[in-house]
Structure 1
Amino acid sequence: MGTLSYGMTASLDGFVNSADGTFDWGTPDEEVHDFILEQQQRIGTYLIGRRMFETMRVWDEDDFVAGMEEPYVQFTPIWRAADKIVFSSSLEDPGIPRTRVERSLDIDAIRRLKSSSAKDLEVAGPTLGAAFLRAGIVDELCLYIAPVVVGGGTRLFQEGLSLNLTLLEERRFGSGTVFLRYGVLS
């Protein structure tokens, strides 16, 4: 059975992007990126919304990857080897291998996928993450807190969401980024 985690980089004030939609402030340095790569090795399926998919799909574009610097290019084989489920009512054809589109969120289907998975699953994106959290199917939160306050944007956690957590792991990086892994109790 796979563990289902919700993971993202967020500002210290709890946003995944700035008010203008940018998130360049969350770009990891080499030390953080190496740690993220290590964590991502265990993921067999990414569960993502359309906007997150549009951001991440570049890892399937050879021209994009060819222009990347090390160590960032090292994420490519991890992304390409994983299955991807995109939840979207508007995306027709994802256009990349190992990727399918689901028009609606079927929580029971996700539970079945989770229980039959040999590898872990990760949901990314605050809207989809909130739906998974509200359904009670997320096992862990894996958060990278960047040392920046952006003052507005898209919240990591939607208003009204209440969770009981237990700290499982923490790590501080030289850049000031902090990794926090919490178990979701309820």
Structure 2
Amino acid sequence: MTKLIYATNMSADGYIEDEHGDFDFGPRDAELFEAHTELLQSAGTFLYGRRLYESMAVWEADATLAAQSDLLADFATAWQAASKVVYSTTLTAASTANTRIQRHFDPDAVRELQAAASSDITVGGANLAAQALKAGLVDECQLYVWPTVVGRGKPALPIDARVDLELIDERRFANGVVRLSYRPQGR
């Protein structure tokens, strides 16, 4: 059975972006970028909220990114190869290939998508992931915790639901980031 994985970068105090919408928490390094690329390569479908999709679309729109290094080229290739489902009430068309727009999140449609999938599915965007968590769809949370505190902003996890988590893995990166992998209890 394929997994639905919520993966996100977050500050040590639990935010995916600060109060100004900034999500640059510190210097990236090759080791961390490779881990993100491995996750993308394992997934055949990405479920995105609009804002995350728009920030990730650059991996198809800007060929100069992939031309900078083999590492960036691998990331761009993995991102472009996957199908994308974007949940948005405002987008009228997708700007990238292999992408479809859905107006509303439908847990039953995601269950059907997962049942038919031959590889894992990732969900990104805090609001979309919160809906998936509350619907009991998420099989794993991969939280990349950055060594910075931003004080306030957009929470990485739902603030209006309780989800008990079981730690299943952890990994430390040289730049101070820690990936904590959790399975929601009952999954």
* Band the TM-score falls in, shorter-chain normalisation: over 0.9
Report the more deviating stretch, 12-21 or 158-167: 158-167
Q: Is the 8 A contact 1:86 1:102 kept in 2?
A: yes
**TM-score using structure 1 length:** 0.94
Give the SS at the match of 1:175.
Answer: coil
Q: Distance in 2 between matches of 1:26 and 1:37?
A: 18
Cα drift, residue 89 of structure 1:
0.9
Cα drift, residue 180 of structure 1:
0.9
4+ residue runs over 4 A deviation: 66-70
Q: Distance in 1 between matches of 2:33 and 2:63?
A: 21
Q: Is the 8 A contact 1:9 1:26 kept in 2?
A: no
**TM-score using structure 2 length:** 0.93
Give the SS at the match of 1:130.
Answer: helix
- TM-aligned CA distance change 1:34 to 1:63, over 3 Å: closer
Q: Distance in 2 between matches of 1:69 and 1:117?
A: 31
Give the SS at the match of 2:58.
Answer: helix
Counterpart AA for 1:141? C
Q: Is the 8 A contact 1:46 1:85 kept in 2?
A: yes
Q: Is the 8 A contact 2:59 2:66 kept in 1?
A: no
**Residue correspondence of structure 1 range 13-162 to structure 2 within 5 A:** 13-25=13-25, 28-65=28-65, 68-69=68-69, 71-162=71-162
Report the more deviating stretch, 111-120 or 154-163: 154-163
Q: Give the aligned CA root-mean-square deviation in angstroms.
A: 1.5
Q: Distance in 2 between matches of 1:38 and 1:66?
A: 16
Percent identity over paired residues:
38
Cα drift, residue 75 of structure 1:
0.6
Counterpart AA for 2:56? M
